[in-house]
Structure 1
Amino acid sequence: MATQDIIATATQNYLSARRKSISLSRSLDLFTQVLAVDLGLKPALLYDTNCASSEQVQQYLNFLQSSQMVSKSLFTLDLNGNTLIVNQELCLLHLNEILTSDIMVVVDVSHLLKAPVLFDPSRGELMNVLQKLHLLIQGYKQHDAPKPLYVGDLCEDWNLCTVFGALLGYPVTYWFDQNKSFENCLSMTPLMVTTASATWQTDAARRHSEILNLILL
Protein backbone atom coordinates (compact mmCIF):
# COMPACT_ATOMS: atom_id res chain seq x y z
CA MET A 1 0.00 0.00 0.00
CA ALA A 2 1.34 3.46 -0.91
CA THR A 3 2.32 5.83 1.89
CA GLN A 4 -0.48 8.31 1.18
CA ASP A 5 -2.98 5.45 1.10
CA ILE A 6 -1.83 4.22 4.52
CA ILE A 7 -2.20 7.69 6.01
CA ALA A 8 -5.59 8.24 4.39
CA THR A 9 -6.80 4.80 5.54
CA ALA A 10 -5.68 5.46 9.11
CA THR A 11 -7.49 8.79 9.19
CA GLN A 12 -10.71 7.61 7.55
CA ASN A 13 -10.99 4.38 9.54
CA TYR A 14 -10.20 5.74 12.98
CA LEU A 15 -10.66 9.52 13.18
CA SER A 16 -14.01 10.14 11.54
CA ALA A 17 -16.37 11.98 13.88
CA ARG A 18 -20.04 12.91 13.52
CA ARG A 19 -20.09 11.23 10.10
CA LYS A 20 -17.56 13.74 8.77
CA SER A 21 -14.31 12.53 7.23
CA ILE A 22 -11.02 14.41 7.23
CA SER A 23 -9.68 15.63 3.89
CA LEU A 24 -6.48 14.18 2.46
CA SER A 25 -4.60 17.47 2.92
CA ARG A 26 -5.55 17.62 6.61
CA SER A 27 -4.69 13.93 6.98
CA LEU A 28 -1.20 14.58 5.63
CA ASP A 29 -0.80 17.66 7.82
CA LEU A 30 -1.80 15.69 10.92
CA PHE A 31 0.60 12.87 10.06
CA THR A 32 3.42 15.40 9.57
CA GLN A 33 2.77 16.79 13.07
CA VAL A 34 2.67 13.29 14.54
CA LEU A 35 5.94 12.55 12.75
CA ALA A 36 7.51 15.64 14.34
CA VAL A 37 6.62 14.22 17.77
CA ASP A 38 7.97 10.80 16.80
CA LEU A 39 11.27 12.32 15.63
CA GLY A 40 11.66 14.20 18.89
CA LEU A 41 11.20 17.69 17.46
CA LYS A 42 8.62 18.32 20.18
CA PRO A 43 7.50 16.23 23.17
CA ALA A 44 3.77 16.16 22.43
CA LEU A 45 0.95 17.28 20.15
CA LEU A 46 -2.46 18.56 21.24
CA TYR A 47 -4.98 16.86 18.94
CA ASP A 48 -7.43 19.42 17.56
CA THR A 49 -8.12 18.20 14.03
CA ASN A 50 -11.71 17.29 14.88
CA CYS A 51 -13.69 15.97 17.85
CA ALA A 52 -12.44 12.36 17.63
CA SER A 53 -12.13 10.70 21.04
CA SER A 54 -8.87 9.74 22.74
CA GLU A 55 -9.69 6.09 22.04
CA GLN A 56 -10.01 6.86 18.31
CA VAL A 57 -6.70 8.73 18.29
CA GLN A 58 -5.00 5.79 20.01
CA GLN A 59 -6.42 3.40 17.40
CA TYR A 60 -5.09 5.74 14.71
CA LEU A 61 -1.64 5.56 16.34
CA ASN A 62 -1.88 1.77 16.68
CA PHE A 63 -2.51 1.46 12.95
CA LEU A 64 0.41 3.75 12.05
CA GLN A 65 2.67 1.81 14.41
CA SER A 66 1.63 -1.57 13.02
CA SER A 67 2.32 -0.15 9.53
CA GLN A 68 5.79 0.94 10.77
CA MET A 69 5.06 4.57 9.94
CA VAL A 70 5.86 5.74 13.48
CA SER A 71 7.59 4.19 16.48
CA LYS A 72 6.12 2.53 19.56
CA SER A 73 7.22 5.47 21.72
CA LEU A 74 4.01 7.36 20.92
CA PHE A 75 0.82 7.02 22.94
CA THR A 76 -2.34 9.00 23.68
CA LEU A 77 -2.82 11.02 26.87
CA ASP A 78 -6.30 12.17 27.91
CA LEU A 79 -6.45 15.17 30.25
CA ASN A 80 -10.04 15.87 31.20
CA GLY A 81 -11.26 15.14 27.66
CA ASN A 82 -8.32 16.87 25.94
CA THR A 83 -6.27 14.50 23.76
CA LEU A 84 -2.51 14.68 23.37
CA ILE A 85 -0.17 12.48 21.35
CA VAL A 86 2.95 12.02 23.49
CA ASN A 87 6.48 10.85 22.82
CA GLN A 88 6.98 9.05 26.12
CA GLU A 89 10.79 9.12 26.30
CA LEU A 90 11.19 12.71 25.14
CA CYS A 91 8.32 13.99 27.28
CA LEU A 92 9.82 12.44 30.41
CA LEU A 93 13.19 14.03 29.65
CA HIS A 94 11.54 17.39 29.04
CA LEU A 95 9.45 17.32 32.23
CA ASN A 96 12.48 16.22 34.23
CA GLU A 97 14.42 19.17 32.84
CA ILE A 98 11.64 21.55 33.88
CA LEU A 99 11.57 20.04 37.36
CA THR A 100 15.33 20.28 37.85
CA SER A 101 16.15 23.58 36.12
CA ASP A 102 14.67 26.93 35.12
CA ILE A 103 14.12 26.24 31.42
CA MET A 104 10.42 27.20 31.37
CA VAL A 105 9.23 30.77 31.80
CA VAL A 106 5.76 31.12 33.35
CA VAL A 107 3.67 34.28 32.96
CA ASP A 108 0.88 35.10 35.41
CA VAL A 109 -2.14 36.42 33.47
CA SER A 110 -4.65 36.44 36.34
CA HIS A 111 -7.60 38.75 35.64
CA LEU A 112 -6.96 41.05 38.63
CA LEU A 113 -3.57 42.09 37.27
CA LYS A 114 -3.20 45.24 35.18
CA ALA A 115 -0.67 43.49 32.97
CA PRO A 116 0.99 40.05 32.77
CA VAL A 117 3.88 39.45 35.19
CA LEU A 118 6.47 36.73 35.54
CA PHE A 119 5.44 33.87 37.79
CA ASP A 120 7.94 31.87 39.82
CA PRO A 121 7.70 28.32 38.35
CA SER A 122 9.52 26.89 41.35
CA ARG A 123 6.41 27.37 43.49
CA GLY A 124 5.31 24.10 45.01
CA GLU A 125 1.83 24.00 43.47
CA LEU A 126 3.01 23.99 39.86
CA MET A 127 5.98 21.71 40.46
CA ASN A 128 3.72 19.28 42.30
CA VAL A 129 1.40 19.05 39.28
CA LEU A 130 4.30 18.46 36.87
CA GLN A 131 5.80 15.85 39.20
CA LYS A 132 2.49 13.94 39.26
CA LEU A 133 2.30 14.16 35.47
CA HIS A 134 5.86 12.87 35.16
CA LEU A 135 5.04 9.86 37.35
CA LEU A 136 1.88 9.09 35.37
CA ILE A 137 3.67 9.18 32.00
CA GLN A 138 6.59 7.20 33.41
CA GLY A 139 4.19 4.52 34.64
CA TYR A 140 2.46 4.10 31.28
CA LYS A 141 3.17 0.66 29.79
CA GLN A 142 2.59 -0.43 26.21
CA HIS A 143 0.44 -3.55 25.78
CA ASP A 144 -0.60 -5.68 22.85
CA ALA A 145 -3.64 -3.42 22.40
CA PRO A 146 -2.50 -0.02 23.75
CA LYS A 147 -5.12 2.25 25.23
CA PRO A 148 -5.00 5.95 26.12
CA LEU A 149 -3.67 7.04 29.47
CA TYR A 150 -6.69 8.61 31.17
CA VAL A 151 -5.69 10.97 33.98
CA GLY A 152 -9.29 11.37 35.15
CA ASP A 153 -10.34 13.29 38.24
CA LEU A 154 -6.73 13.94 39.25
CA CYS A 155 -6.38 16.75 36.70
CA GLU A 156 -9.65 18.55 37.48
CA ASP A 157 -7.82 21.02 39.73
CA TRP A 158 -4.85 21.43 37.39
CA ASN A 159 -4.34 24.58 35.38
CA LEU A 160 -4.41 22.90 31.97
CA CYS A 161 -3.24 26.06 30.22
CA THR A 162 0.06 25.77 32.09
CA VAL A 163 0.21 21.98 31.75
CA PHE A 164 -0.30 22.13 27.98
CA GLY A 165 2.52 24.65 27.69
CA ALA A 166 4.84 22.34 29.61
CA LEU A 167 3.85 19.19 27.70
CA LEU A 168 4.06 20.82 24.26
CA GLY A 169 7.56 22.12 24.93
CA TYR A 170 6.72 25.83 24.86
CA PRO A 171 9.54 27.99 26.29
CA VAL A 172 6.88 30.29 27.80
CA THR A 173 3.51 29.27 29.21
CA TYR A 174 0.61 31.06 30.92
CA TRP A 175 -0.65 30.61 34.47
CA PHE A 176 -3.64 32.07 36.30
CA ASP A 177 -5.36 31.33 39.59
CA GLN A 178 -8.31 29.30 38.36
CA ASN A 179 -9.66 28.99 41.89
CA LYS A 180 -10.52 32.68 41.65
CA SER A 181 -11.40 33.04 37.97
CA PHE A 182 -10.82 31.55 34.52
CA GLU A 183 -10.61 35.05 33.04
CA ASN A 184 -7.29 36.71 32.27
CA CYS A 185 -5.75 40.15 31.79
CA LEU A 186 -4.74 39.61 28.16
CA SER A 187 -7.73 41.38 26.61
CA MET A 188 -6.58 43.87 23.95
CA THR A 189 -2.93 43.01 24.64
CA PRO A 190 -1.00 43.13 21.32
CA LEU A 191 0.71 39.85 20.48
CA MET A 192 3.94 39.32 18.57
CA VAL A 193 4.37 36.12 16.56
CA THR A 194 7.91 34.87 16.03
CA THR A 195 8.67 32.06 13.59
CA ALA A 196 11.81 29.93 13.81
CA SER A 197 13.03 27.00 11.75
CA ALA A 198 15.77 24.42 12.13
CA THR A 199 17.23 21.47 10.25
CA TRP A 200 18.19 18.19 11.86
CA GLN A 201 19.27 15.00 10.13
CA THR A 202 19.58 11.61 11.80
CA ASP A 203 19.16 8.06 10.56
CA ALA A 204 15.54 8.12 11.73
CA ALA A 205 15.06 11.53 10.11
CA ARG A 206 16.36 10.22 6.79
CA ARG A 207 13.91 7.34 6.93
CA HIS A 208 11.01 9.65 7.71
CA SER A 209 12.10 12.24 5.13
CA GLU A 210 11.70 9.51 2.53
CA ILE A 211 8.15 9.01 3.77
CA LEU A 212 7.48 12.75 3.57
CA ASN A 213 8.88 12.90 0.05
CA LEU A 214 6.51 10.13 -0.96
CA ILE A 215 3.61 12.01 0.62
CA LEU A 216 4.41 15.14 -1.36
CA LEU A 217 4.68 13.35 -4.72
Structure 2
Amino acid sequence: MRLLTVAAAVLAAGGLAVVGLTTTETRALEEKIAHTQSGGWKTTHYSKYSDWESICETRAPATVGALISINRALEERCYLRLVDRIGDSEITGANDRFGEISTVVQQDGDGLRVTFEIESALTIDVGEFYLAREDFPVWRLDKDVCLGTGECSFSGPAADALVRAFSDQTGDALHMQVEFTDRNDQKLIRKWPMLPFAGAFADFENNIHYTGT
Protein backbone atom coordinates (compact mmCIF):
# COMPACT_ATOMS: atom_id res chain seq x y z
CA MET A 1 0.00 0.00 0.00
CA ARG A 2 1.37 3.43 -0.89
CA LEU A 3 0.09 6.48 0.92
CA LEU A 4 -0.14 9.68 -1.08
CA THR A 5 1.42 12.90 0.19
CA VAL A 6 -1.39 15.41 0.48
CA ALA A 7 -0.18 17.89 3.05
CA ALA A 8 -2.63 20.55 1.98
CA ALA A 9 -5.58 18.38 2.94
CA VAL A 10 -4.73 18.62 6.64
CA LEU A 11 -6.72 21.75 7.37
CA ALA A 12 -5.81 24.22 10.11
CA ALA A 13 -8.75 25.68 11.98
CA GLY A 14 -9.39 28.39 14.58
CA GLY A 15 -9.57 27.73 18.30
CA LEU A 16 -12.70 26.36 19.88
CA ALA A 17 -13.75 26.99 23.45
CA VAL A 18 -14.70 23.69 25.08
CA VAL A 19 -17.44 23.84 27.67
CA GLY A 20 -19.70 21.30 29.31
CA LEU A 21 -18.99 17.80 30.53
CA THR A 22 -15.43 16.70 29.76
CA THR A 23 -14.93 13.68 32.02
CA THR A 24 -17.36 11.17 30.55
CA GLU A 25 -15.47 7.88 30.54
CA THR A 26 -14.37 6.58 27.15
CA ARG A 27 -14.93 2.85 26.89
CA ALA A 28 -13.82 0.88 23.85
CA LEU A 29 -15.87 -2.11 22.76
CA GLU A 30 -14.27 -5.16 24.37
CA GLU A 31 -16.21 -8.28 23.47
CA LYS A 32 -13.37 -10.74 22.87
CA ILE A 33 -13.69 -10.31 19.13
CA ALA A 34 -10.51 -12.29 18.62
CA HIS A 35 -12.45 -15.37 19.67
CA THR A 36 -15.76 -14.79 17.93
CA GLN A 37 -17.19 -15.14 14.46
CA SER A 38 -19.55 -12.75 12.70
CA GLY A 39 -20.93 -13.18 9.19
CA GLY A 40 -18.67 -16.17 8.70
CA TRP A 41 -15.53 -14.13 9.41
CA LYS A 42 -12.97 -15.65 11.78
CA THR A 43 -10.38 -13.45 13.47
CA THR A 44 -6.81 -14.44 12.57
CA HIS A 45 -4.99 -11.41 13.98
CA TYR A 46 -5.86 -9.05 16.81
CA SER A 47 -3.69 -6.32 18.33
CA LYS A 48 -4.77 -3.44 20.52
CA TYR A 49 -3.12 -0.04 20.85
CA SER A 50 -5.02 1.81 23.56
CA ASP A 51 -8.58 1.95 22.15
CA TRP A 52 -7.47 1.23 18.57
CA GLU A 53 -7.88 -2.35 17.36
CA SER A 54 -5.96 -3.82 14.42
CA ILE A 55 -7.83 -6.86 13.10
CA CYS A 56 -7.49 -9.39 10.28
CA GLU A 57 -10.16 -11.95 9.43
CA THR A 58 -10.78 -14.77 6.98
CA ARG A 59 -13.84 -16.67 5.86
CA ALA A 60 -14.58 -19.61 3.60
CA PRO A 61 -15.50 -18.90 -0.03
CA ALA A 62 -19.15 -18.73 -0.97
CA THR A 63 -20.92 -22.03 -1.54
CA VAL A 64 -22.35 -23.20 -4.83
CA GLY A 65 -25.43 -25.15 -3.87
CA ALA A 66 -24.30 -27.40 -1.07
CA LEU A 67 -20.66 -27.44 -2.18
CA ILE A 68 -17.83 -25.08 -1.39
CA SER A 69 -15.81 -24.07 -4.40
CA ILE A 70 -12.44 -25.77 -3.84
CA ASN A 71 -10.81 -23.50 -6.41
CA ARG A 72 -11.42 -20.34 -4.41
CA ALA A 73 -9.06 -19.20 -1.70
CA LEU A 74 -10.19 -17.97 1.69
CA GLU A 75 -11.45 -14.39 1.69
CA GLU A 76 -9.23 -12.11 3.77
CA ARG A 77 -9.64 -8.62 5.15
CA CYS A 78 -7.75 -6.38 7.57
CA TYR A 79 -8.96 -3.18 9.17
CA LEU A 80 -8.27 -0.73 11.96
CA ARG A 81 -11.04 0.52 14.23
CA LEU A 82 -12.01 2.41 17.33
CA VAL A 83 -15.49 1.81 18.76
CA ASP A 84 -16.71 4.10 21.53
CA ARG A 85 -19.83 2.96 23.36
CA ILE A 86 -21.67 5.63 25.29
CA GLY A 87 -23.88 4.81 28.25
CA ASP A 88 -24.59 5.51 31.90
CA SER A 89 -21.25 5.20 33.71
CA GLU A 90 -23.07 4.04 36.84
CA ILE A 91 -24.54 1.02 35.06
CA THR A 92 -22.20 -1.72 33.91
CA GLY A 93 -24.68 -4.07 32.21
CA ALA A 94 -24.82 -4.53 28.44
CA ASN A 95 -28.23 -2.87 28.25
CA ASP A 96 -26.95 0.52 29.37
CA ARG A 97 -25.64 1.44 25.89
CA PHE A 98 -27.52 4.30 24.28
CA GLY A 99 -25.08 5.40 21.63
CA GLU A 100 -22.01 4.45 19.68
CA ILE A 101 -19.41 6.33 17.62
CA SER A 102 -16.85 4.43 15.59
CA THR A 103 -13.97 4.97 13.18
CA VAL A 104 -12.79 2.32 10.71
CA VAL A 105 -9.74 2.43 8.43
CA GLN A 106 -9.66 -0.18 5.66
CA GLN A 107 -8.40 -0.81 2.16
CA ASP A 108 -10.30 0.70 -0.75
CA GLY A 109 -8.83 -0.57 -4.00
CA ASP A 110 -5.19 0.53 -4.02
CA GLY A 111 -5.83 3.16 -1.37
CA LEU A 112 -7.61 3.67 1.92
CA ARG A 113 -11.06 4.46 3.20
CA VAL A 114 -11.72 6.15 6.55
CA THR A 115 -15.28 5.92 7.82
CA PHE A 116 -16.89 7.57 10.83
CA GLU A 117 -20.22 6.12 11.99
CA ILE A 118 -22.52 7.85 14.45
CA GLU A 119 -25.52 6.13 15.95
CA SER A 120 -28.85 7.85 15.36
CA ALA A 121 -29.42 8.40 19.09
CA LEU A 122 -26.63 10.99 19.00
CA THR A 123 -26.63 14.44 17.40
CA ILE A 124 -23.37 16.05 16.28
CA ASP A 125 -23.33 19.50 14.72
CA VAL A 126 -20.82 20.78 12.20
CA GLY A 127 -17.57 21.74 13.91
CA GLU A 128 -18.11 19.49 16.94
CA PHE A 129 -16.03 16.53 15.67
CA TYR A 130 -12.38 17.48 15.35
CA LEU A 131 -8.75 16.46 15.74
CA ALA A 132 -6.73 18.57 18.17
CA ARG A 133 -2.96 18.79 18.58
CA GLU A 134 -1.90 20.43 21.84
CA ASP A 135 -5.60 21.33 22.27
CA PHE A 136 -5.64 23.29 19.00
CA PRO A 137 -8.01 21.97 16.29
CA VAL A 138 -6.12 20.94 13.12
CA TRP A 139 -8.95 19.13 11.30
CA ARG A 140 -12.73 19.20 11.56
CA LEU A 141 -15.41 16.84 10.30
CA ASP A 142 -17.53 19.52 8.65
CA LYS A 143 -19.62 17.50 6.22
CA ASP A 144 -23.07 18.37 7.54
CA VAL A 145 -24.89 16.01 5.15
CA CYS A 146 -23.06 12.92 6.36
CA LEU A 147 -23.39 13.97 9.98
CA GLY A 148 -27.14 13.91 9.44
CA THR A 149 -27.08 10.42 7.92
CA GLY A 150 -24.73 9.03 10.57
CA GLU A 151 -21.94 7.92 8.22
CA CYS A 152 -19.05 10.03 6.93
CA SER A 153 -16.62 8.34 4.56
CA PHE A 154 -13.33 9.56 3.03
CA SER A 155 -11.27 7.85 0.33
CA GLY A 156 -8.38 8.65 -1.98
CA PRO A 157 -6.22 11.68 -1.08
CA ALA A 158 -8.66 12.75 1.66
CA ALA A 159 -8.27 9.41 3.47
CA ASP A 160 -4.49 9.50 3.06
CA ALA A 161 -4.37 13.00 4.54
CA LEU A 162 -6.50 11.92 7.50
CA VAL A 163 -4.23 8.97 8.24
CA ARG A 164 -1.20 11.27 8.13
CA ALA A 165 -2.88 13.71 10.50
CA PHE A 166 -3.91 10.88 12.85
CA SER A 167 -0.32 9.58 12.84
CA ASP A 168 1.23 12.91 13.83
CA GLN A 169 3.86 12.40 16.52
CA THR A 170 5.29 15.94 16.55
CA GLY A 171 3.45 17.10 19.66
CA ASP A 172 3.04 15.89 23.21
CA ALA A 173 -0.74 15.59 22.87
CA LEU A 174 -3.08 14.55 20.08
CA HIS A 175 -6.72 13.65 20.53
CA MET A 176 -10.00 13.44 18.65
CA GLN A 177 -12.75 15.40 20.33
CA VAL A 178 -16.42 14.66 19.73
CA GLU A 179 -19.08 16.94 21.18
CA PHE A 180 -22.63 15.66 20.89
CA THR A 181 -26.13 15.74 22.28
CA ASP A 182 -27.46 12.42 23.54
CA ARG A 183 -31.02 11.15 23.48
CA ASN A 184 -31.64 12.82 26.85
CA ASP A 185 -30.62 16.23 25.45
CA GLN A 186 -27.41 16.20 27.47
CA LYS A 187 -24.37 17.85 25.91
CA LEU A 188 -21.41 15.48 26.27
CA ILE A 189 -17.81 15.39 25.12
CA ARG A 190 -15.62 12.40 24.27
CA LYS A 191 -11.86 12.52 23.81
CA TRP A 192 -10.01 9.74 21.98
CA PRO A 193 -6.23 9.56 22.55
CA MET A 194 -4.68 9.62 19.07
CA LEU A 195 -0.96 9.17 19.77
CA PRO A 196 -1.40 5.34 19.79
CA PHE A 197 -2.84 5.50 16.25
CA ALA A 198 0.57 5.50 14.53
CA GLY A 199 1.52 2.15 16.06
CA ALA A 200 -1.90 0.68 15.29
CA PHE A 201 -1.69 1.83 11.68
CA ALA A 202 1.80 0.36 11.28
CA ASP A 203 0.44 -2.97 12.50
CA PHE A 204 -2.49 -2.68 10.05
CA GLU A 205 -0.11 -2.00 7.13
CA ASN A 206 2.19 -4.87 8.07
CA ASN A 207 -0.72 -7.27 8.12
CA ILE A 208 -1.96 -6.11 4.73
CA HIS A 209 1.51 -6.71 3.27
CA TYR A 210 1.72 -10.11 4.98
CA THR A 211 -1.65 -11.36 3.76
CA GLY A 212 -1.17 -9.91 0.30
CA THR A 213 -4.63 -8.32 0.28
TM-score, normalising length from structure 2? 0.30
Tell me which protein shows more helix as a share of its residues: 1
Tell me which protein shows more strand as a share of its residues: 2
